[in-house]
């Protein structure tokens, strides 16, 4: 990558402005309601976190570059320029103070997709050289090593060996013609090996062929978070190439929010062509298996529990019913948080915030919202379906001395799976 500069940043932002963005800026009436939906505003009370304010540099560039009136204003010296100071001032708003959760976009009365614009403006900040160290590091590791946490294939293989010893089940690597290509997030490899074991057991029970790709086991995409489309494209291409090479029918996105956004929605646009395979979130696949009777469960968890909707999976991914269908099958005391589903509050660590150490304190302040939600319910267990949410929630709970275990929904389902050791069909 060439050296970043303010000029490149401005050009990158210009390149992101399309008709939808222009319509959003033309329609904004400065009503401020987006702030009421943003946990960074509600938890800090600082109006600078008002979502529409986070894209003010983009609005200035749009007005100057793409409107006649704005050009006239600029010629007369009546408009504010976007310069190095602007980038410096807005950097923390754009990266630290936004998890791209998308709640603001759902409440805007004129229909502005504000979080979509924040995702876009990050392209300019990264190109200008105003991106957080944590995200630069994660992106560099993803490009050079293959994973934002620096996880390499041997780590996955070691986990597989362990799994095989424990369960006697096979974890196919690079199996051509398999129906499903299973992706993992680094966090699942490093922190939550339960996930892969659950997959192996469920796939075995469902009688489905599946594989992991040695060249593309990692689903996460730091390029999406930092806002560098070239990196995002490279990382998505690894998955697409592997899926094409192996000839799989469906790629399964793991329990990770932004990975789903990256591979399900952004991927085809990044590589510039539709995929030759389907992409589904693991919860969609599990719900399908249950509905088709491919897997059965027995027994119920009696502890009072609730489900935290990962923003990219529920609000932005449309996977809302499936986790509820699954939980109602295996939990007898499942209760919902206020605003559950499409309007659920973010954990505070999405959109690259958890990879950005500079934002740690702000992230914990934002967590107060989730803390209040959990306290209101008084649950014994918290279930979720995103490893990043899970780590953020664990950290927040620990910081607040709250003793609530967190489990991934896939591993929980596997716990109640009926395993009859039938041979694969």
Stretch that binds another protein, among 164-172, 217-225, 241-249, 312-320 (CB under 8 A): 312-320
Can you tell me the distance from the alpha carbon of 423 to that of 420, in angstroms, rounded to the nearest whole number?
Answer: 9
Stretch that binds another protein, among 29-37, 247-255, 352-360, 384-392 (CB under 8 A): 29-37
Contact between 20 and another protein by CB under 8 A: the answer reads yes
The total number of residues shown for the chain amounts to 425
Cβ–Cβ < 8 Å for 13, 83: no
User: Which residue, 38 or 200, has its beta carbon nearer to another protein?
Assistant: 38
Footprint on residues 61-90 left by another protein (CB under 8 A): 66-69
Contact between 384 and another protein by CB under 8 A: the answer reads no
Can you tell me the distance from the alpha carbon of 280 to that of 282, in angstroms, rounded to the nearest whole number?
Answer: 6
> Looking at 109, 168, 299, 378, which residue binds another protein (CB under 8 A)?
109
Shortest distance, CB of residue 359 to another protein, whole angstroms? 21
Helix (H, G, I), strand (E, B) or coil at 277: coil
Extract the tokens encoding 145: 């090593």
Contact between 265 and another protein by CB under 8 A: the answer reads yes
User: Which residue, 20 or 177, has its beta carbon nearer to another protein?
Assistant: 20
Contact between 28 and another protein by CB under 8 A: the answer reads yes
Element (DSSP H or E) covering residue 404: none
Element (DSSP H or E) covering residue 160: helix 153-167
Contact between 112 and another protein by CB under 8 A: the answer reads yes
What is the signed CA dihedral for 158, 143, 350, 217, rounded to 10 degrees? -30
Contact between 268 and another protein by CB under 8 A: the answer reads yes
Total residues at the site for another protein (CB under 8 A)? 61
Shortest distance, CB of residue 266 to another protein, whole angstroms? 7
Stretch that binds another protein, among 158-166, 268-276, 361-369, 411-419 (CB under 8 A): 268-276
Can you tell me the distance from the alpha carbon of 174 to that of 165, in angstroms, rounded to the nearest whole number?
Answer: 20
Extract the tokens encoding 228: 């560098």
> Looking at 4, 8, 11, 23, which residue binds another protein (CB under 8 A)?
23
User: Which residue, 189 or 366, has its beta carbon nearer to another protein?
Assistant: 366
Q: Where are the alpha helices (DSSP H) in 358-399?
A: 360-377, 387-399
Contact between 273 and another protein by CB under 8 A: the answer reads yes
> Looking at 18, 144, 298, 403, which residue binds another protein (CB under 8 A)?
18
Phi, psi (rounded to 5 degrees) for 369: -65, -45
Characterize the bridge pairing of strands 210-211 and 250-253. Answer: unpaired
User: Which residue, 53 or 410, has its beta carbon nearer to another protein?
Assistant: 53
Cβ–Cβ < 8 Å for 259, 230: no
> Looking at 60, 201, 233, 316, which residue binds another protein (CB under 8 A)?
316
Extract the tokens encoding 33: 């309601």
Cβ–Cβ < 8 Å for 373, 345: yes
Contact between 325 and another protein by CB under 8 A: the answer reads no
Stretch that binds another protein, among 170-178, 216-224, 275-283, 354-362 (CB under 8 A): 275-283
What is the layout of strands, in order, in the sheet containing 381-384? 334-335, 305-308, 381-384, 406-408
Extract the tokens encoding 86: 């602007």
> Looking at 19, 76, 298, 425, which residue binds another protein (CB under 8 A)?
19
Stretch that binds another protein, among 82-90, 147-155, 247-255, 316-324 (CB under 8 A): 316-324
> Looking at 267, 323, 349, 396, which residue binds another protein (CB under 8 A)?
267
Q: Is the dihedral of CA 388, 394, 399, 402 positive or negative?
A: positive
CB proximity list for 380: less than 8 A, separation 6 or greater: 303, 304, 305, 404, 405
Shortest distance, CB of residue 42 to another protein, whole angstroms? 8
Helix (H, G, I), strand (E, B) or coil at 214: coil
Contact between 15 and another protein by CB under 8 A: the answer reads no
Footprint on residues 339-378 left by another protein (CB under 8 A): 339, 342-343
Contact between 416 and another protein by CB under 8 A: the answer reads no
Cβ–Cβ < 8 Å for 149, 184: no
List residues near another protein by CB under 8 A. 17-24, 26-33, 35-37, 41, 45, 47-48, 50, 52-53, 66-69, 103, 105-113, 116, 264-269, 272-275, 278-279, 315-318, 320, 339, 342-343
């Amino acid at each position: 990558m060439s050296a970043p500069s303010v000029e490149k940043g401005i050009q990158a932002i210009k390149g992101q402005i399309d008709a939808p963005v222009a319509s959003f800026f033309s329609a904004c009436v400065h009503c401020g309601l987006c702030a009421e939906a943003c946990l960074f505003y509600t938890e800090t009370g600082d109006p600078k976190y008002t979502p529409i304010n986070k894209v003010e540099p983009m609005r200035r560039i749009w007005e100057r570059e793409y409107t006649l009136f704005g050009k006239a204003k600029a010629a007369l010296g009546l408009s504010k320029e976007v310069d190095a100071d602007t980038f410096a001032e807005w950097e923390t708003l754009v990266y630290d103070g936004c998890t791209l959760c998308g709640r603001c976009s759902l409440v805007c009365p004129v229909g502005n997709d504000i979080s979509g614009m924040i995702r876009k403006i990050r392209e300019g900040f990264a190109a200008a050289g105003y991106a957080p160290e944590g995200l630069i590091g994660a992106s560099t590791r993803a490009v050079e090593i293959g994973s934002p946490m620096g996880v390499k294939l041997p780590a996955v293989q070691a986990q597989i060996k362990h799994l095989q010893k424990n369960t006697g089940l096979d974890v196919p690597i690079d199996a051509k013609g398999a129906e499903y290509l299973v992706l993992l997030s680094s966090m699942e490899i490093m922190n939550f090996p339960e996930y892969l074991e659950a997959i192996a057991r469920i796939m075995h029970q469902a009688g489905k062929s599946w594989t992991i790709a040695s060249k593309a086991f990692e689903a996460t995409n730091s390029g999406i978070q930092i806002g560098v489309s070239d990196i995002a494209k490279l990382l998505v291409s690894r998955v697409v190439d592997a899926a094409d090479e192996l000839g799989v029918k469906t790629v399964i996105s793991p329990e990770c929010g932004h990975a789903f956004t990256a591979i399900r929605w952004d991927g085809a646009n990044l590589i510039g062509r539709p995929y030759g395979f389907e992409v589904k979130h693991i919860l969609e696949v599990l719900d399908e298996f249950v509905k088709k009777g491919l897997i059965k469960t027995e027994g119920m968890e009696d502890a009072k529990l609730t489900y935290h909707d990962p923003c990219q999976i529920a609000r932005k991914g449309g996977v809302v019913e499936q986790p509820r269908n699954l939980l109602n099958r295996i939990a007898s005391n499942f209760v919902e948080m206020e605003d559950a589903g499409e309007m659920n509050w973010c954990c505070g660590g999405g959109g690259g915030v958890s990879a950005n150490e500079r934002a740690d304190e702000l992230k914990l302040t934002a967590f107060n919202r989730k803390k209040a939600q959990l306290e209101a319910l008084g649950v014994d267990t918290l279930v979720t379906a995103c490893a990043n949410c899970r780590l953020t929630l664990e950290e927040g709970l620990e910081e607040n001395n709250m003793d609530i275990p967190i489990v991934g929904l896939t591993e929980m389902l596997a716990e109640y799976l009926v395993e009859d050791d039938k041979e694969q069909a």
